[in-house]
Structure 1
């Protein structure tokens, strides 16, 4: 994983405190100032001696009567230990972090006037950076659960940080903890400035679907398609989910709008065919399926659906005629119309089997045609092919 660094601000050095500073605190601040000068030009390791000098001075300051109850003392002690942890690749880093966290808590409890708030914010960034680094290290080792824990701890110090939210959500997905992934990603949805906002909304919709929550999956798909009206993937997600949920009548206008944007998208015409078919507008459904097949004659699902639709239309006409009290000549005419409809379906039924000879639906539909035509040899052949699928 490519690490995105958390930018650290410049330290704020207060010129006035409530109590007189002893030499150790002044020395610590001066040494830490030198370290930060080196750190600011990208050579933090060159300032380790100054950092250690600051640490030594601060360890004396936290024991001194005049400085041990100063929020500033504990703030700097936390900063120094946090920076030492960032520079240490050994297990000793955990010890530095523990001291930094304890000192941070002490500083916060003492800083009733919030005089050290800016430096404490910078400390939070350093602590979060440490957790980010640990998370990336775990990620690179494919230990996604540990990576999630580190990224999540980083959010304790930088609540709402988009990098940590994204990485923690991604780690949760990879460790198949989808509830935690959703919790992180949902926080990112309203953050328009997040560069991957579009993908986040799409992923939230998909995660809800994986959890069996179709209502929320549709909610976020609709939000995404509204927020990014020119995004084909979000539009398709919205359409597919609404079709799955049985919202065909509701989604027809949305599909038509998307067809206008992507007239050569065969899937959109196919979805339109499904929606019209389910709402009973069979003429428009047939036209939509045919449009999909104009774009791709080998579109399996469109061939299956169109062949089946026409076959059913022929069966309906046959049954209606057979149950009507008609004169023989009129009966013969109407029955012939039914068989003409059946023959209209045949090219699509055959094409579906040609495209995928192992499709149960394609074989079953073609078998039904030959049953109607009373061609037993073809029926037996197709039944044998269906049996071979089991």
Structure 2
């Protein structure tokens, strides 16, 4: 994982001059300023000696009665230890971080007038950067839960940071902790400036679906289509979820809107066929499936659905005729219509089997046709193929 720095520009360290400082605190600040001059041009390691000088002076300052209860003393002590942690690649870095965190808490408690707020914000960025670096290493070693914990800890120092939210969400997904992933990703949904905002919304919808929460899955898919009306992937997600939920009328309108924008999208016509079929409008469903097949004659699912739809239409006509009190001549004519309907299904039923000879649905539908036609040889052949799939 390439780690994005969350430190913005050269650190400006505000100084409080409300009262005179002892020599150790002044020395520490001067040394830390020198370190930051080097750090600002990308050579922080060259300033380690100044950083250590500052640390030694501050350790004396926190023991001196004139400076031990100053928020500024503890703020600088925290800053120095945080920077030492960033530069240390050994286990000692954790000791520096612990000192920085403890000093930060002390500084915050003492800084009642918020005189050190700017420096404490900078400290938060440094500590967050440390956790970001730590998380990246854990990610690279495939320790996704450890990476999540590091990224999440970084957010305690830099709340709402989009990089940490995104990385912690990704780590949680890889650790298969979808609740934690959703908690982070949902925070990113309203942030339009986040570069991966569109993908995040799609992922949130999919994560809710994985958890079996169709309501929220639809909710976020709809948010996505509203924010990105030209995005086909979000539109498809929205359509598929509404079909699953049985929101067919609403789905038909949504699909037709997308068809107007992308008339050559075979999937949209296929989805429209499903939606019309669910509402009982078989004529429009048939027309939609046929449109999908005009675009791609080898579209397996469209062939299966269209063949099955026509087959069922023939069966309905046959049953209706069989149950009606008709004169023989009229009865014979209507039964012939049913068989004519069956025959119009055959090309699609055969095409589906041709495309995928191991599709149980395709083989079963074709077998049904030959059962209606009472062709025992074909029935036996197709049953043998179905048996072979078991």
In the alignment, the residues of structure 2 paired with residue 145 and residue 333 of structure 1 have an alpha-carbon distance, to the nearest angstrom, of 70
State the 1:386 CA deviation: 1.1
CA distance in 2, matches of 1:201, 1:306: 33
2:88 aligned with 1:91, yes or no?
Answer: no
Q: Is the 8 A contact 2:14 2:118 kept in 1?
A: no
* Residue equivalent to 1:189: 189
Q: Kindly report which structure 2 residues correspond to 1:1-390, keeping only aligned pairs within 5 A, or say none.
A: 1-8=1-8, 10-17=11-18, 19-390=19-390
Shift of 1:144: 0.5
1:37-68 Cα offsets, whole Å, 9 max, x none, are 01001111111111111011101100111000
Check whether the contact 2:16–2:115 (CA below 8 A) recurs between aligned residues.
no
Alpha-carbon RMSD across the aligned residues, in angstroms, is: 0.8
Runs of 5+ in structure 2 lacking a partner?
none
**Cα pair 2:248 2:279 within 8 Å, conserved:** yes
Structure 1 gaps, min length 5: none
Which 4+ stretches in 1 moved above 6 angstroms? none
Deviations 1:11-46 (A, max 9, x none): 2332512x4210000000000011000100111111
Q: For 1:145-198, what per-residue CA distance to the aligned partner results, in whole angstroms no more than 9, with x for missing partners?
A: 110010000000001000000000000000101100000000110111100000
Q: Is the 8 A contact 1:148 1:167 kept in 2?
A: yes
SS in 2 for 1:329: helix
Q: For the Cα contact (< 8 Å) 2:353–2:362, is it kept in 1? A: yes
Answer with 319-328 or 238-247: which moved more. Answer: 319-328
Which secondary structure does the structure 1 equivalent of 2:380 belong to? helix
Give the Cα–Cα distance (whole angstroms) in 2 for the partners of residues 161 and 292 of structure 1.
45
**Which string of whole-angstrom CA distances, capped at 9 and with x for unpartnered residues, describes residues 64-102 of structure 1?**
110000000000000000000101101111111011001
Q: Aligned pairs, how many? A: 389
State the distance in 2 between where 1:329 and 1:389 align.
44
> Structure 2: how far apart are the matches of 1:322 and 1:132?
73
Counterpart-to-counterpart distance in 1, 2:304 and 2:254: 24
Does the CA contact (< 8 Å) of 2:24 and 2:58 recur in 1?
yes
CA distance in 2, matches of 1:278, 1:224: 25
Q: Is the Cα contact below 8 Å between 1:32 and 1:54 reproduced in 2?
A: yes
Change (3 A) 1:15 1:186: closer
Q: In structure 2, how many angstroms separate the alpha carbons of the residues matched to 1:10 and 1:100?
A: 17
Q: Tell whether the 8 Å contact from 1:20 to 1:66 is kept in structure 2 after alignment.
A: no
Helix, strand or coil at the partner of 1:4: coil
> Equivalents in 2 of 1:146, 1:321: separation in Å?
68
Asked if 1 retains the 8 angstrom alpha-carbon contact of 2:14 and 2:116, the reply is no
